[in-house]
A and B are shown apart, each in its own frame.
Chain A
């Protein structure tokens, strides 16, 4: 160490102070060095990633959503370009705003809100584009594009939007979509969704979302602090950044798969036209030998184009309040009393167990007495065997069958026919129906034999869905094969490759003796084609084939109103469950008219209209 004279006695600063000063300097620099070590070595990778996050902007490349096609490959759900207007507050000028308002025919008040919205953006937000209009017409788009130079800061972007070319047709089957909300987002983000994206909310759109959605791609762009695209970063560096990111710079989107339905668009429209004559109704048309659903309709329907991104508050309220419940799929998601269409159950149960012979006659006086309650019939039918009782729909006869078989035996046979459990159709929210047992009533407060009689004629607590009934009648028609309903035929890639193909699938073979099935079938043919049959007057003689089926008039309240005209929620539901042709049945058709009145009068003619359309041109 250098020793100067000043450090000797009488010096201005003593050695201790110098050492102290040097120690403080050293200490502070060590602290700074340690801080650098912490930031650059211990936390270096973290900050490196932060710095790359700064300038690597991931631009999502949306995937094209798969189409929903009918069996003849007609698109029920398609994608269409939609033009959106974006505005960057920092770049826009006052004259440009005026011109925009002019081109889009905005009123003075609207233009004023617009100006206020633009003025409200501050600082950095002024450089972020904001969505101004979700959707403008093709003409407006052309106008804005043509006058681009006069509209600085305003851009028109095109985006694929879901489009349902046939509107309300098959709306409940196809479903609709809408935007992901903030609550679901954390869960969906892991599956590759963005917050602004739409997701299937009902029907096929929802059930097959994972196939339809496809996989979004992305491109990583390089931007500077102002958000401007940067060409300054050189290639080598990009490579090293990509490595830190552990991923490529661009991943192409994968288009969603197409869903090919078993639905036949022509038949579907025909069915919807037919049930559309009623205020509120549903229908199912099922291929008897495969379980394929050819048409599944619920009336009234909604327009999925409105529900998909264009639903206003008032429209939503209107849909919610509509007494005819357009948002509810009545073919699938509602349970109904089956009424007399359920009489096949006591008939088959009694025949199978040998509790009645086909020839045995029972006498109907119009009433059936039980201690404490008297059950009635439509009229006094007199003596009749099973065939006649089915044809004329005599309640008394089936009360007797119910008594003989018992509630639980009917329940087991109903379960065999697929009642009381979801059919397994490839749509969300299917109602299971309900078949009561003695156990059920005991738990609910006590079993009484009257409950058995109620179930024998499809009342009481007995409930089914339209689709369940169609499949049960299909099983009856085909000789005992209960199918899982088939709605999706195939999943295909956009290029047409088969992702997954669905063959008809047997749920099970029903245990009933084929001879008994044939007896009941023949009785059902009598319902339509024999004099005094409940549907005889409503059969269609022009049809090239014979229709067989059972009408049902399901009482919904104790105060039966019967044939009162006009919509009344106390009115009975009208059913007709049927199949055709009588020999070699092809299709089963079930029509339900809510509060429509007598099944034979109301639901049967609608079914006939459907058969006419289906068998048109056949002889």
Chain B
């Protein structure tokens, strides 16, 4: 194969729409983050640019290597992520009463982000077994898949970070439900979750209820109960979004953002900043980008060349879907406040890197759809 024809082939097989929507989201993220970090500590924006550079490199590298390699080393990657999570519990930095962060100097990230990729790879490998086999030993595979999820869930839960733990679980569970199990097995997987929660509540003793989790939940159920505490965040976010009206207050003119009424507006609430400054039109544009991306990923899955690729693409779709729905549901006051980032828009190195790697995997599957 001469280099020229290889390049031609790549140009044909390259997923331009996927690249386009990725760049669009990154651009929106940068524009929005510039506004959101104007009042933030210095250097946040530059740091994010460095992470974006890393993310792009990660995207290209991950996309370039045939994903069948990942299929082979999936247990290794998964194990590595689990090891990192263990390390967090041992050496992680304490921030606001929980250990989530692992880093050297000022550079570092949350392994709980990366483990989502590890879990997706591991599950994709596990569930890409011959469907006949999967159907025959449904309960066994089901159990194995759930065990794959419960390990990171438990480790993240211990940090403690219930939100992220639940998110990892949700992403994985979606994948299990889409795997070619028979319906009773799917139903079983689905029912394990409420059963687990019920068990947890039954075993609960006083000290085990994290007070901040309870507070946030109560604040969501009754926002007027605690006007200055957790509900304050949710309410200010809703004010920001609502006050954007049709076309927004204009870039850099969001008062909720610029005057710091929005809490953590560059990490968990960047959508509120965006919706305040760009209005309903901006908000729908962003939602449209995500919708396109997720449906496109489902489309890639439907046409992938093998079962592992299909599940990988579905895993990425699931990752984006849950992040976007939970984050926007949270900032619009429809869900309780949990620390879930908005993919490619939120500030945060490991989050951005994880999302770029995920998109790299998606691109990988997309490019190799027709090559055998």
Chain A residues packing against B (C-beta within 8 Å): 1-7, 10-15, 17-18, 21-22, 25-26, 28-29, 32-33, 35-37, 39-41, 43-48, 50-52, 54-55, 123-124, 222-226, 230, 232-234, 237
Contacts and interface: CB of A to CB of B under 8 A. Distances in A.
5 contacts: A13-B180, A22-B295, A41-B246, A50-B239, A52-B243
B126 to A, nearest CB: 12
Given A47-B239, A54-B255, 12 more contacts: A1-B302, A4-B305, A6-B306, A6-B310, A25-B294, A25-B298, A28-B325, A29-B325, A44-B244, A51-B242, A55-B255, A232-B259
A14 B179 CA distance: 9
B242 A43 contact: yes
What 10 pairs between A and B have smallest CB-CB spacing?
A: A47-B242, A4-B303, A44-B245, A51-B243, A224-B259, A12-B307, A225-B260, A39-B242, A48-B243, A40-B280
Nearest to A39: B242
Contact of B287 (A14, A29, A234): A29
B302 A40 contact: no
Contacts of A124: 228
B173 interface: no
B261 A29 contact: no
Contacts of A3: 303
Interface string B267-299: 000000001100110011001001100110011
B329 interface: yes
B280 A36 contact: yes
Given A6-B306, A41-B280, A225-B261, A32 B287 contact: yes
A42 to B, nearest CB: 9
Nearest to B244: A40
Given A40-B279, A51-B255, A33 B287 contact: yes
Interface string B201-226: 00000000000000000000000000
A26 B317 CA distance: 13
B321 interface: yes
Residue among A4, A44, A51 with most chain B CB within 10 A? A51
A36 B259 contact: no
A13 B280 contact: no
A229 B242 CA distance: 24
B291 A26 contact: yes
Contacts of A41: 245-246, 280
Contacts of B246: 40-41, 44
Contact of A50 (B243, B283, B329): B243
Nearest to B322: A28
B129 to A, nearest CB: 9
Q: Which of A32, A46, A48, A55 has most chain B Cβ within 10 Å?
A: A32
Contact of B305 (A5, A17, A55, A237): A5
B176 to A, nearest CB: 12
Contacts of A43: 242
Nearest to A14: B180
Contact of B302 (A4, A33, A52): A4
B284 A25 contact: no
Contact of B310 (A2, A13, A44): A13
Interface residues of B, number: 57
Contacts of A234: 253
Interface string B180-198: 1000000000000000000
A233 B249 CA distance: 12
A36 B242 CA distance: 8
Contacts of B334: 35
Nearest to A46: B242
A25 to B, nearest CB: 5
B317 to A, nearest CB: 8
A232 B258 contact: yes
A434 B284 CA distance: 79
A121 B78 CA distance: 50
A44 B329 CA distance: 18
Nearest to A244: B243
A48 B249 CA distance: 10
A18 B301 contact: yes
B311 interface: yes
A124 B260 CA distance: 14
A17 B180 CA distance: 9
A32 B332 contact: yes
B240 interface: yes
B299 A55 contact: no
Given A12-B307, A18-B302, A224 B260 contact: yes
B253 A237 contact: yes
Contacts of B131: 10-12
A225 B240 CA distance: 13
Contacts of A32: 287, 325, 328-329, 332
A50 B235 CA distance: 10
Contacts of A225: 259-261
A36 B287 contact: yes
B241 interface: yes
B299 to A, nearest CB: 6
A128 B190 CA distance: 51
B171 interface: no
Contacts of B256: 51, 54
Contact of B298 (A4, A22, A222): A22
Nearest to B256: A51
A32 to B, nearest CB: 5
A55 B261 contact: yes
Contact of B241 (A26, A47, A232): A47
Nearest to A17: B178
B304 interface: yes
A35 B304 contact: no
B33 interface: no
Nearest to A54: B261
A47 B238 contact: yes
B36 to A, nearest CB: 14
Contacts of A55: 255, 259, 261
Nearest to A51: B243
Interface string B311-335: 1001001000100010011001110
A40 B241 contact: yes
Contacts of B253: 234, 237
Nearest to B334: A35
A226 B260 contact: yes
A332 B242 CA distance: 60
Contact of A40 (B242, B287, B310, B317): B242
B12 to A, nearest CB: 14
A21 B298 contact: yes
A224 B128 CA distance: 54
A429 B334 CA distance: 58
Contact of B239 (A18, A22, A51): A51
Contacts of B321: 25, 28
Contacts of B298: 18, 21-22, 25
Nearest to B291: A29
A317 B290 CA distance: 73
Nearest to B372: A5
Contact of B245 (A4, A6, A13, A45): A45
Nearest to A223: B259
A40 B325 contact: no
Interface string B353-370: 000000000000000010
A36 B241 contact: yes
A125 B130 CA distance: 64
Contacts of A4: 302-305, 369
Contact of A54 (B259, B295, B299): B259
Contacts of B249: 237
B303 A6 contact: yes
A71 to B, nearest CB: 55
A40 B332 CA distance: 10
A48 B248 CA distance: 10
Interface in B223-238: 228, 236, 238
A25 B240 CA distance: 26
A37 B280 contact: yes
A603 B7 CA distance: 123
B274 to A, nearest CB: 11
